[in-house]
Structure 1
Amino acid sequence: MSNSKATVSSAGEPVAAGLSAAQLIEFYRLMYLSRRTDDREILLKRQQKIFFQISCAGHEALLVAAGLAMKPGYDWFFPYYRDRALCLALGNTVEDQLLQAVGAADDPASGGRQMPSHWTSRQLNIVSPSSSTATQCLHAIGCAEAGRYFTQHPEAAKKADGDYREFKDVKFHADEVVYVSIGEGSTSQGEFWESLNTASNSKLPVLYVVEDNGYAISTPVEANTPGGNISRLISNFPNFHFAEVDGTDAVASYQAMVEAVAYCRSGKGPALVHGHVVRPYSHSLSDDERQYRSEEELQADALRDPISRMQMWLLREGILDAQGINELERKVDEEVQHASDRALAAVLPQPDTILRHVYSEDFDPTTESLERGAEPTADSNERTMLDLINACLQDEMRRDERIVIFGEDVADATRDKELRAGKLKGKGGVFKVTAGLQKEFGNDRAWNSPLAEANITGRAIGMAVRGMKPVVEIQFFDYIWPAMHQMRNELSVMRWRSNGQFSCPLVMRVPIGGYLTGGSIYHSQSGESIFTHTPGVRVIMPSNALDAIGLLRTAIRCDDPVLFLEHKRLYRETFGRSAYPGPNYTIPFGKAKTVKEGKDLTVITYGAVVPRALQAAQRMQREKGVDVEVIDLRSLSPYDWEAIATSVRKTSKVIVAHEDMLSWGYGAEIAARIGDELFHDLDAPVRRVGSMDTFVAYQPLLEDVILPQPEHLFQAMSDLAAF
């Protein structure tokens, strides 16, 4: 234990590290409670009554210290799977945790959807984690930014607390601290380093806890971390408070946590406590550490077990005698036994609940009642898609102070003194879509992010969890892949995995597609099918200015995360220009638009293929007398099956066309469903038109062959019409 000498004193007076004898006894009780809960889960797993077990054993002293140093329901917590003792210290019960282990319907963390040890509590501000390592570091950053934002924008906080459906109880405090923890192996992940950058730059009140037990499953720390010590690597980050501590020493751990939390609350910046702990049990019950750890090493760790160390210290210092220890442990054993009995008798979730919380149940963006028509305005000039997207962002930022916009180069000028003085025009994005937003709304509502797409997405998730409405930009779809981990494993599943306790409704605007003449491999990609394959996210792709403003407004007001795909070629096209329809114009999701009526053949498409399909359809009318109907889906997930079915039943011939590669593309699902459900209405096979199964080349001669052109569509229409 710590070198700090404890002194026996009367009840309530400090004994060690500012803790009274009663508090120190409670400290040990929580540690022992965590260990015995682990042991109970191990027993249940061996009895095949639960399905997975991963323990907190060896981490208890460090984590109880963190829990006692912070404020549940006041501070915010982004834990990882070792943090059982932290959550017990914050107010989680053993029954709460064992209900998760059995996967009960009343599991308060996830309703049986997550593995055990994925702690979640709306009441305690414990945000639902995933099994992915270090992703939560960026969520903690966004959460801290949101807390700071609310203290500076009280109207936004009121809206989050009242109007916003998912967050009736948004809580923020000027001195709140955001806790995030990871193992030492997870410090290898890029999200950890990206989060350090932003925490340091912005002096955010984030407390990092690195629980260093020396192993990432079977990989020892020296193989993960140069020099084997993360504290040495990060020691030069400015604005940080750093502490390295023996995490098996309860008193020393508590002292370190109290100092770190105080530093964060003071507004000086973030803190990181690096605790050296032990792992007396294997990584999980599916692992056998004896295969890669020697008996001598395991025995050495056993001598540092925090449970036995704390017990001996209490005895040595006269805070508890043997009888007191035995009585405390007996009561804990009874508590765990009773909690286990109740958990094993709990009702299991029913299959009819599976789809609950995939999407918001309070706000349906597909309902026709959302539709608002155009309003007469003084400005009747036709504008481009780019212009009306910018106008929508301005409208919505004026309407709702919770909306913030950030991404790479989206601000007018980060160093804005000359901008304010009129010496700079400002950038506002590589396509100028966000031009003027920073100038009008200020640096705290429109700003430039680091060049790191996971940073953009992960921070937005943390903000949205708190009730903000981030609208972020990924500069090019081609560079969305670093964000994919955050999107697939975090953004899409937050509501479902927390059983509706948390959600992250945000908008990701992404310029997409080719037809650029010189865009080449890394500025011409499509890949929308990857995201429409992901439940929990809405995917929208307009083809014209009016649809863009109406659908973007719905996206911003939606309760679900929305991937809003903006085709780069269409930003400034003459095709599809429109007058500004007013600040309330909205279009529901999942409603296709028939852009050309026809009776002989249907083309189902979206994005930049829409104008190309219209060209081909007009040529078919002129040259062959074939009347082609063209349907613009606009919304890819959800999509308008009724409009598709109605048109196919009318024409009996159908082409599904898209810019992305033909094989495994978005059109394959539409074609398959038509074949499955409308087979008897067809007079010809379903045809698909897409790009070649390769990459987009730089040379325009090659690009024209690779991507679907009006000529390709005309040929497919001609073949199908003649069938």
Structure 2
Amino acid sequence: MVQAAISTAETTRKETGSGLTHSRLIEFYRLMYLSRRIDDREIILKQQQKIFFQISGAGHEALLVAAGMAMKPGYDWFFPYYRDRALCLTLGSTAEDLLLQAVGSSDDPSSGGRQMPSHWGNRKLNIVSQSSATTTQLLHAVGCAEAGRYFSRHPEAAAKHEGDYRQFKDVHFHGDEVVYTSLGEGSTSQGEFWEALNTASNAKLPVVFVVENNGYAISVPVEVNTPGGNISKLVANFPNFYFAEIDGTDAVASYEAFTKAVAHCRAGNGPALIHGHVIRPYSHSLSDDDRLYRPESERKADALRDPLTKLEMFLLREGVLDEQGIKRLEKAVDDEIQAATDRVLRAPLPTVASIRKHVYSEDLDPTGKLFDTPPAPTAETQERTMADLINTCLRDEMRRDPRIVVYGEDVADCSREEYLKSGAVKGKGGVFKLTAGLQKEFGSDRVFNSPLAEANIVGRAVGYAVRGMKPVVEIQFFDYIWPAVHQMRNELSLMRWRSNGSYSCPAVIRVAIGGYLTGGSVYHSQSGESIFTHTPGIRVVFPSNALDANGLLRTAIRCDDPVLFLEHKRLYRETFGRAVYPGPEYAIPFGKAKTVREGKDLTLITYGAVVPRALQAAQRAQREMGIETEVIDLRTLSPYDWEAIAESVKKTSRVIIAHEDMLSWGYGAEIAARIADELFEYLDAPVKRVAAMDTFVAYQPLLEDAILPQPEDIVKAIGELRKF
């Protein structure tokens, strides 16, 4: 449409020396102008109260069109940030696509009206759904690059991937994909920036990192964020990188830099970092007024570097276009935006009924044959511990599915593989030995150690999962999960919902949790599962015995949701709950509790390490008070089995909820509230809870015993409740 308005003379294929032909330069300007005018149109729509938020990419256009032109849409992968409007347009997003997001239409291809404007995502173009969190996407890009490399080396995994998962039927593997990711200068202060560079450098991953430096992080100037005011000087010693610090308002210089960076990555030489100095002619967003912290003199100096004006002058000076040609091009773009706006303002809005769609997968059993498989009869009669059957499940599933990778801190047998091959060392396989032998059997491509950085572990898992693999990662102790919570709450659990089902993150996070250790103390005894059951989009599993751990872990690995798999350290090798190996197809459905003791007088709801203590208490209550207590092991905390709870409470009319985490704001509070709300007419006594003190777990065993709930605490509660 635009090209028709440009004369043949204007589209000659004369080279400029940069590899940009005249026709490419004209398209370059068109995309830059299109991006700027969409920003301007959104600002008008916001002032008319027809959209609700606006944040612009103005001043970044030359850098981003260059990036898009140097890469391959639908071939390479993209993890952008909110200034990257011009990149998305260059890759193939339309003005209408972006304006649909601004009005929050159900037809918005990024999120179906669920996210703010400028939160990009497009499945066909491999633009992965972006959040508002800054820097988190860099680790996703690293994981995606790792997954792409893995598939190129393991064609059997690629074949399995395309055959099993419906949502990946349109994904292909080329072997030389490059992954793009970007951030603002201020975001380089975040630890995940350095974690991403660390892993990309060590593994020589094909990731192009783009630092878009417009001088400000909202109102905070660059020298406050960055020592010395220049991120390029700080990262210069990372090995295997291609580095370029450029004037990001110069279209030709930007294109040259990106062409070299992408070639470096595509050749397998390692990652690249382009530090582009750009401008921000508009405020951070329409919620900000930069006149409050930027003098007019600074704003005017930026205006002299406007990339749009600079490229226009270049086209005129080089005879690529004349003034009439530029006017025709700009009018065609303005008409395109007007037509798109008219259509978008009539576009359908999301329905209230759609809100809950895509919080979780629609089908927990993608294979159609997973659940309620009885244990296979085997010749084996030896009972194994929970630790043994978790290891066995991992081994079974890795043999079944070549897409599974296992990594975390200390999970490998030995990172220096030559020590294993020579027999110089036996191998570690985790501090609790739950991954022992996996690296020896499956190799270092599939079982490996991560840096000591929990956000790195989970953030990379997001990229792996988005790309179509099944990462099963380990956080060594629940007490140290907190650096990863940002990735878990804002990224892992939200990917499916915020992308309106375009992307999913079926990762498993295994975590050793809990106390009762005699000396575990504050930082090796924490619970806190209610924090994650309060997070929509993630499944939370907490087995109490070996058989359940095996069956539930298999379900976790095979389902299409992110799963937090909590493994109580005290139960790993307990005599309680040992079981015979149930075979490689044994699986337990989520949301199905187990009645581990029948009773008629009182219901006791619990999970994890409190289950054996509850059984002890129930036996004592029967022996000493003649009370028959029904004990329900929830097994999964999200989803949980409300039907089993309700059925038991209706039978006994009395209920105790017992858990190891602290009492106040603990997991039991929600169940207690729901029982009181929905089953009040069946109750003969108040709902009672037994839990830990509202404090931390102490080192001295005498104190630990007093802090955590013991069988005698449960017996006491049973006796008190029976009096009603």
Calculate the TM-score normalised by the size of structure 1. 0.98
Structure 2 residue 456 is matched with structure 1 residue 455: yes
Amino acid at match of 1:614: L
Equivalent residue number for residue 678 of structure 1: 679
What is the distance in 2 between the residues matched to 1:378 and 1:518? 40
Inter-CA distance 10–521: structure 2 relative to 1 (3 Å threshold): closer
Amino acid at match of 1:279: R
Q: Deviations over 1:106-161 (max 9, x none)?
A: 00110000000011111000000100000000000000000000001111111111
What is the distance in 2 between the residues matched to 1:568 and 1:398? 26
Q: Deviations over 1:598-647 (max 9, x none)?
A: 00001000000000000000001111111010000001000000000000
Inter-CA distance 159–510: structure 2 relative to 1 (3 Å threshold): same
Query: Is the Cα contact below 8 Å between 2:610 and 2:660 reproduced in 1?
Result: yes
Offset, 1:355: 0.7
Question: Residues 108-123 of structure 1 correspond to what in structure 2 (within 5 A)?
Answer: 108-123=109-124
Offset, 1:173: 1.6
Say which SS state the counterpart of residue 622 (structure 1) adopts.
Answer: helix
Equivalent residue number for residue 494 of structure 1: 495
Q: Deviations over 1:281-323 (max 9, x none)?
A: 0000110000000100000000000011111111111111110
Offset, 1:252: 0.5
Say which SS state the counterpart of residue 166 (structure 1) adopts.
Answer: helix
Structure 2 residue 416 is matched with structure 1 residue 412: no
What is the distance in 2 between the residues matched to 1:664 and 1:91? 48
Query: Is the Cα contact below 8 Å between 2:11 and 2:320 reproduced in 1?
Result: no
Equivalent residue number for residue 384 of structure 2: 383
Structure 2 residue runs without a partner (length 5+): 1-8
Question: Residues 624-663 of structure 1 correspond to what in structure 2 (within 5 A)?
Answer: 624-663=625-664
Equivalent residue number for residue 346 of structure 1: 347
Equivalent residue number for residue 90 of structure 1: 91
Equivalent residue number for residue 250 of structure 1: 251
Structure 2 residue 229 is matched with structure 1 residue 228: yes
Offset, 1:378: 2.6
Equivalent residue number for residue 155 of structure 1: 156
What is the distance in 2 between the residues matched to 1:485 and 1:166? 26
Say which SS state the counterpart of residue 124 (structure 2) adopts.
Answer: coil
Q: Deviations over 1:442-472 (max 9, x none)?
A: 0000000000000000001000001100000
Amino acid at match of 2:359: V
Offset, 1:167: 1.2
Equivalent residue number for residue 542 of structure 1: 543
What is the distance in 2 between the residues matched to 1:9 and 1:622? 96
Amino acid at match of 2:15: P
Q: How many residues align?
A: 716
Q: Deviations over 1:167-214 (max 9, x none)?
A: 112222211100000000000011110000000000000001100000
Structure 2 residue 70 is matched with structure 1 residue 69: yes
Question: Residues 170-249 of structure 1 correspond to what in structure 2 (within 5 A)?
Answer: 170-249=171-250
Offset, 1:526: 0.3
Offset, 1:503: 0.6
Amino acid at match of 2:27: E
What is the distance in 1 between the residues matched to 2:714 and 2:251? 71
Question: Residues 271-282 of structure 1 correspond to what in structure 2 (within 5 A)?
Answer: 271-282=272-283
Q: Deviations over 1:343-400 (max 9, x none)?
A: 1110100000001110112435999971111112232100000000000000000000
Equivalent residue number for residue 6 of structure 2: none
Amino acid at match of 1:108: P
Q: Deviations over 1:66-104 (max 9, x none)?
A: 000000000000000000000000000000000000000
Equivalent residue number for residue 315 of structure 1: 316
Say which SS state the counterpart of residue 324 (structure 1) adopts.
Answer: helix
What is the distance in 1 between the residues matched to 2:16 and 2:697? 70
Q: Deviations over 1:384-424 (max 9, x none)?
A: 00000000000000000000000000000000212122231
Q: Deviations over 1:53-75 (max 9, x none)?
A: 00000000000000000000000
Inter-CA distance 368–631: structure 2 relative to 1 (3 Å threshold): farther
Question: RMSD over aligned Cα, in angstroms?
Answer: 1.2
Equivalent residue number for residue 466 of structure 1: 467
Query: Is the Cα contact below 8 Å between 2:365 and 2:558 reproduced in 1?
Result: no
Say which SS state the counterpart of residue 661 (structure 2) adopts.
Answer: strand
Say which SS state the counterpart of residue 473 (structure 1) adopts.
Answer: strand
Say which SS state the counterpart of residue 522 (structure 2) adopts.
Answer: coil
Question: Residues 400-439 of structure 1 correspond to what in structure 2 (within 5 A)?
Answer: 400-439=401-440
Q: Deviations over 1:529-574 (max 9, x none)?
A: 0000000000000000000000000000010000000000000000
Query: Is the Cα contact below 8 Å between 1:9 and 1:15 reproduced in 2?
Result: no
Say which SS state the counterpart of residue 503 (structure 2) adopts.
Answer: coil
Query: Is the Cα contact below 8 Å between 1:118 and 1:129 reproduced in 2?
Result: yes
Inter-CA distance 624–10: structure 2 relative to 1 (3 Å threshold): closer
Amino acid at match of 1:304: R
Query: Is the Cα contact below 8 Å between 1:368 and 1:588 reproduced in 2?
Result: no
Inter-CA distance 537–367: structure 2 relative to 1 (3 Å threshold): farther
Query: Is the Cα contact below 8 Å between 2:542 and 2:607 reproduced in 1?
Result: yes
Structure 2 residue 520 is matched with structure 1 residue 519: yes
What is the distance in 1 between the residues matched to 2:69 and 2:370? 49
Query: Is the Cα contact below 8 Å between 1:492 and 1:561 reproduced in 2?
Result: yes
Offset, 1:9: 9.3
What is the distance in 2 between the residues matched to 1:172 and 1:220? 42
Equivalent residue number for residue 559 of structure 2: 558
Say which SS state the counterpart of residue 517 (structure 1) adopts.
Answer: coil
Say which SS state the counterpart of residue 590 (structure 2) adopts.
Answer: coil
> What percent identity do the matched residue pairs reach?
76
Inter-CA distance 314–219: structure 2 relative to 1 (3 Å threshold): same
Q: Deviations over 1:321-340 (max 9, x none)?
A: 11011111111110111111
Amino acid at match of 1:215: Y
What is the distance in 1 between the residues matched to 2:419 and 2:238? 29
Q: Deviations over 1:640-674 (max 9, x none)?
A: 00000000000000000000000000000000000
Equivalent residue number for residue 270 of structure 2: 269
Q: Deviations over 1:216-239 (max 9, x none)?
A: 000000000000000000000000
Equivalent residue number for residue 5 of structure 2: none
Equivalent residue number for residue 579 of structure 2: 578
Equivalent residue number for residue 141 of structure 1: 142
Structure 2 residue 293 is matched with structure 1 residue 331: no
What is the distance in 2 between the residues matched to 1:520 and 1:366? 43
Query: Is the Cα contact below 8 Å between 2:370 and 2:585 reproduced in 1?
Result: no
What is the distance in 2 between the residues matched to 1:55 and 1:330? 21
What is the distance in 1 between the residues matched to 2:235 and 2:172? 32
What is the distance in 1 between the residues matched to 2:311 and 2:367? 58
Answer with 355-364 or 288-297: which moved more.
355-364
Offset, 1:16: 3.7
Equivalent residue number for residue 38 of structure 1: 39
Query: Is the Cα contact below 8 Å between 1:414 and 1:448 reproduced in 2?
Result: yes
Equivalent residue number for residue 3 of structure 1: none
What is the distance in 2 between the residues matched to 1:551 and 1:175? 37
Structure 2 residue 15 is matched with structure 1 residue 14: yes
Query: Is the Cα contact below 8 Å between 1:365 and 1:589 reproduced in 2?
Result: no
Offset, 1:10: 7.3
Equivalent residue number for residue 598 of structure 2: 597
Structure 2 residue 484 is matched with structure 1 residue 483: yes
Say which SS state the counterpart of residue 702 (structure 1) adopts.
Answer: helix
Query: Is the Cα contact below 8 Å between 1:210 and 1:273 reproduced in 2?
Result: yes
What is the distance in 1 between the residues matched to 2:368 and 2:10? 67
What is the distance in 2 between the residues matched to 1:366 and 1:16? 55
What is the distance in 1 between the residues matched to 2:352 and 2:552? 33
Query: Is the Cα contact below 8 Å between 2:11 and 2:23 reproduced in 1?
Result: no
Inter-CA distance 260–365: structure 2 relative to 1 (3 Å threshold): closer
Structure 2 residue 359 is matched with structure 1 residue 358: yes
Query: Is the Cα contact below 8 Å between 1:184 and 1:215 reproduced in 2?
Result: yes
Amino acid at match of 2:560: D
Equivalent residue number for residue 721 of structure 1: 722
